[in-house]
Chain A
Amino acid sequence: MNAIRCSWVGALAAMVWGFGMAPLAASPKPAAKPQVIRDMSPVVARSSPADLAVGKKLFEANCSTCHGLDGAGGRGPDIQGVAMRLGDQPTGSIIRGGIPGTAMGAFWSLTLEEAGQVLGYVKTLGASATGTVTGDAAKGRATYEKSGCAACHIISGEGGGIGPELTRVGAMRGPGYLRATLLTPGAELPHEAGAMERGRFTLYLFMHAVTKDGRAIDGMRVSENSFTIVLQDAAGRFHALRKLELRELKKEPGKSLMPSFKDRLSAAQLDNLVAYLASLKGAQ
């Protein structure tokens, strides 16, 4: 059942979010990247204090929306230490050319020099910037299992599919973000990947709908377009609703189907759970 439910979510998500996967562009009329950039010289990291100051501004303007101001990830992945893992040149190529088929677009509006300044700044973003992991991941796993998380989340194929899959959550979200979500779920929801206004909608948004015949449905938004909305309720049931048949439809930011673990876990248990989640970087 879970598997079926889960693939249905996937199909629905692909339908609506799939076309939000075009490259993010920092720009204009049919904001786009050029298919050919002539000057594909390698990006050289520029790290003088003046360069880093410019790189910081450019990063904040172009990159922080997805990767967070500290690069620790938000709706986009944690990129702290990325240049160390991939090397300067591949990282520079990604900044200029994007990663085709993902939300990481080509930043064609950056000059070679500016890309070098961004690269220089990205290299300064350390894992210690925020969201330090202090707990014990092995103990955190036990906390995860005892706390009923698997009723709603899947890790490496195990668990229930109401909430987001967590198999790679450590690669996608920073530890600070994971901690905040455990304490106040729904306070800061991630955004879907996407280019311009086609994407970047709030994921797991809690909504309240009332049909014209008086039936109320509370649940998490699975997909939405101008005529239809799909909500998933706390029991995992999907409700595909025609907007023209609704009397009321409102967003309830801050609410979530997930309970807060603030009063359910000790400080140490919370640290351990964060450590465990942050360690999840496995393949799907």
Chain B
Amino acid sequence: MKASKYVLAVVALAIPLSSFAQVSYERLVRSDREPQNWLTYGGNFYSQRFSGLKQINTGNVGALRLAWAYQTSRPATNMESSPVVVDGIMYLTEPPSTVTAMDARTGAKVWTWSPILPKQVLALGLFQTNRGVAVLGDTVYVATIDAHLVALDAKTGAVRWNAHVEENAKGYAITAAPVAINGEIIIGSGGSEGGVRGFLDAYDAKTGKQLWRLWTVPAPGEPGSETWGDAVPAGGTTWNAGSYDPELNLLYWGTGNPAPDWNGDDRPGDNLYTCALIAVDADTGKMKWHFQFSPHETHDWDAAEPPILFDAPVGGKPRKLLGLANRNGFYYVLDRVTGRFISAVPFTKQTWAKGFDANGRPIVIPGSDPSDEGTLVYPSITGAVNWQSPSYSPLTKLFYVNAREMGSYYVKSHPNRVEAGKPMLSQGGGGERPLSGDDAYGAIRALDAVTGKNKWEFPLFSPAWVGTLATAGNLVFSGSDEGNFFALDATTGKPLWEIYLGASLRSNPVTYEAGGQQYVIVSAGTTFFAFRLP
């Protein structure tokens, strides 16, 4: 009896293990055809974080139960990873740059890979964590905290190639998930707080050879450098994952703050192309257009939030659009073909802009810059959103964002001079004096994706660092900073299910199907929790 049980167990386990399939580019383009998988960081190239699965739905979500939990081996910093799931195998990352492959039904580990990191890793203004992987062909791609891009064999975790993206000693460090497109792996870097020069890179998926690099801020003397005064242009890092339109062959990436951050005295001008959305030709790496959300930024309002691509009529005409909930408190809609501004409406309290001109340039309220004594401005330094992803449901046409209602006293300090190629180890320039916790809150908000009008909201005790997930079961999953994980009705915002996980959630939930059952997975504290119906 014992032996036969054992054989059964092995056979059962052998099903997913033997099913490592090739993930072709075509599969990534049409990921909607296989909702059982979660093939890319953002759920699809449009970063919609929408799943067609509906086994778990408004009628039965109340019965959701824990299926398994996975505790990371390092009692670490923030767990910010959102997993990728391919044909029953899940690839998740653990701080600082570890990749683990596991059976998606049980959480049983298949392999794990960790880079050999230098003894001293420079991580300026960021946690030493990782947000996820990309998969293409039979290869898993991960970027490391010391700014390498590594290709791993999907079956074994063995290294196929290791590309040195940039010098960590200069302040470059990567936490973002790469994005895999047709034969190319796209990756940026963090480090704006350290005064690095931002870029977006493409690497050959097979060989690791760099195909192109687009600098996001000009070198001194180059076009655009006139928007920096005499300063060495610095910052504008692409520290989060971006989106891709396969038809237009355009990549859409947000860029981070200029450096130094809170004191802009030495960098008069708009500081192109920081705090902007850039559209990049995926073959050449050339910038097709840009849209700057916060010219001459001094509040650390990076625009690195993942943009969501969607198609919808505007004024009766079908349009290819891009929606982005910005850290500065506004929800923007742009034409993703031309980059033209369509609208911007506040989705949280904001006290820095009166409105916008026809081109989407903000009309700034005087006196909202950081000051010696501190200037109270909404949103706070950590923003109306941060790196976590919103979602969009093509069924409800709503944009679901975990909004953060909070202000900061922005303090200006000594200006720092950026020196090319040298990290600013002490960033200076200022900071914040945050408000009390009882003067802040959060909310899941459902915005009409075209008009930005708030259709419903579900209040949270405090501003959260959790993304949202929308499903065809007409559900929105998200979490709180206190440790609640919950499901809301996607049409009404009514809470339908909740569990307290006992520690802060700091990632994006995802969903997949394995062994005929739909799962929802999220991390809290140092543990991943996977839920399914009984």
Q: Using a CB–CB distance below 8 Å, which chain A residues touch chain B?
A: 15-16, 19, 26-32, 34-39, 54, 57-58, 60-62, 64-65, 108-112, 114, 191-192, 194, 196-202, 205, 224-228, 244, 251
- Give the complex CA separation of A61 and B263 in angstroms: 15
Q: Using a CB–CB distance below 8 Å, which chain B residues touch chain A?
A: 77-78, 80, 120-129, 190, 193, 239, 256-257, 261, 300, 302, 304, 372-374, 380-383, 386-387, 404, 406, 409, 411, 413-414, 416, 425-434, 436-438, 440, 442, 459-463, 465, 480-484, 486, 495, 498, 500, 502-504, 506, 525
Question: A62 and B431: CB pair below 8 A?
Answer: yes
Supplied contacts A197-B437, A197-B462, 14 more A-B pairs, CB within 8 Å: A28-B261, A29-B300, A38-B425, A60-B373, A62-B411, A65-B434, A108-B427, A109-B427, A109-B430, A191-B437, A197-B481, A202-B438, A224-B461, A225-B484
Question: A28 and B437: CB pair below 8 A?
Answer: no
Among A114, A198, A199, A244, the most chain B Cβ lie within 10 Å of the Cβ of A198
- Give the complex CA separation of A78 and B322 in angstroms: 51
Question: B462 and A198: CB pair below 8 A?
Answer: yes
Q: Which residues in B have their C-beta under 8 angstroms from that of A65?
A: 433-434
Question: A58 and B382: CB pair below 8 A?
Answer: no
Closest Cβ of chain A to B124, distance in Å, is: 5
- Give the complex CA separation of A28 and B191 in angstroms: 11
What does DSSP make chain A's interface, helix, strand, loop or mixed? loop
Closest to A62 in B: B431
What does DSSP make chain B's interface, helix, strand, loop or mixed? loop
Given A29-B386, A32-B125, A197-B382, do A111 and B438 touch, yes or no (CB 8 Å)? no
9 contacts between A and B (CB under 8 A): A19-B503, A27-B300, A29-B300, A34-B123, A61-B433, A62-B411, A111-B426, A202-B438, A226-B484
Q: Which residues in B have their C-beta under 8 angstroms from that of A109?
A: 413, 426-431
- Give the complex CA separation of A109 and B381 in angstroms: 14
- Give the complex CA separation of A178 and B116 in angstroms: 53
Closest Cβ of chain B to A274, distance in Å, is: 25
Question: B300 and A28: CB pair below 8 A?
Answer: yes
Closest Cβ of chain A to B327, distance in Å, is: 9
Q: Which residues in A have their C-beta under 8 angstroms from that of B380?
A: 197
Q: Which of B127, B414, B429, B495 contacts A30 (CB 8 A)?
A: B127
- Give the complex CA separation of A201 and B482 in angstroms: 12
Closest Cβ of chain A to B25, distance in Å, is: 31
Q: Which residues in B have their C-beta under 8 angstroms from that of A199?
A: 437
Question: A61 and B438: CB pair below 8 A?
Answer: no
Q: Which residues in A have their C-beta under 8 angstroms from that of B80?
A: 30
Q: Which residues in A have their C-beta under 8 angstroms from that of B426?
A: 39, 108-112, 114
Question: A31 and B461: CB pair below 8 A?
Answer: no
- Give the complex CA separation of A228 and B460 in angstroms: 11
- Give the complex CA separation of A16 and B431 in angstroms: 27
Question: A225 and B438: CB pair below 8 A?
Answer: no
Q: 6 smallest A-B Cβ distances: which pairs?
A: A225-B482, A26-B431, A111-B426, A201-B437, A61-B411, A226-B480
Question: B483 and A225: CB pair below 8 A?
Answer: yes
Q: Which residues in A have their C-beta under 8 angstroms from that of B484?
A: 225-227
Question: A36 and B428: CB pair below 8 A?
Answer: no
Closest Cβ of chain B to A206, distance in Å, is: 12
Question: A29 and B387: CB pair below 8 A?
Answer: yes
- Give the complex CA separation of A38 and B123 in angstroms: 11
Question: A228 and B122: CB pair below 8 A?
Answer: no
Given A110-B426, A198-B481, A251-B438, do A30 and B381 touch, yes or no (CB 8 Å)? no
Q: Which residues in A have their C-beta under 8 angstroms from that of B459?
A: 226
Question: A30 and B386: CB pair below 8 A?
Answer: yes
Question: B495 and A37: CB pair below 8 A?
Answer: no
Closest Cβ of chain B to A223, distance in Å, is: 9
- Give the complex CA separation of A205 and B437 in angstroms: 12
- Give the complex CA separation of A65 and B372 in angstroms: 15
- Give the complex CA separation of A147 and B411 in angstroms: 45
Question: B78 and A30: CB pair below 8 A?
Answer: yes
Question: B121 and A35: CB pair below 8 A?
Answer: yes
Closest Cβ of chain B to A103, distance in Å, is: 12
Among B77, B429, B463, B481, the most chain A Cβ lie within 10 Å of the Cβ of B481
Closest to B257 in A: A28
Question: A111 and B257: CB pair below 8 A?
Answer: no
Among A35, A39, A60, A61, the most chain B Cβ lie within 10 Å of the Cβ of A61
Q: Which residues in B have their C-beta under 8 angstroms from that of A29?
A: 125-126, 190, 239, 256, 300, 302, 304, 382-383, 386-387
Question: A31 and B382: CB pair below 8 A?
Answer: yes
- Give the complex CA separation of A103 and B16 in angstroms: 45
Closest Cβ of chain A to B471, distance in Å, is: 20
Closest to A64 in B: B433
Q: Which residues in A have their C-beta under 8 angstroms from that of B409?
A: 61
Given A32-B127, A36-B122, A225-B484, do A61 and B431 touch, yes or no (CB 8 Å)? yes
Question: A200 and B387: CB pair below 8 A?
Answer: no
Question: B460 and A111: CB pair below 8 A?
Answer: no
Closest to B118 in A: A36
Question: A37 and B239: CB pair below 8 A?
Answer: no
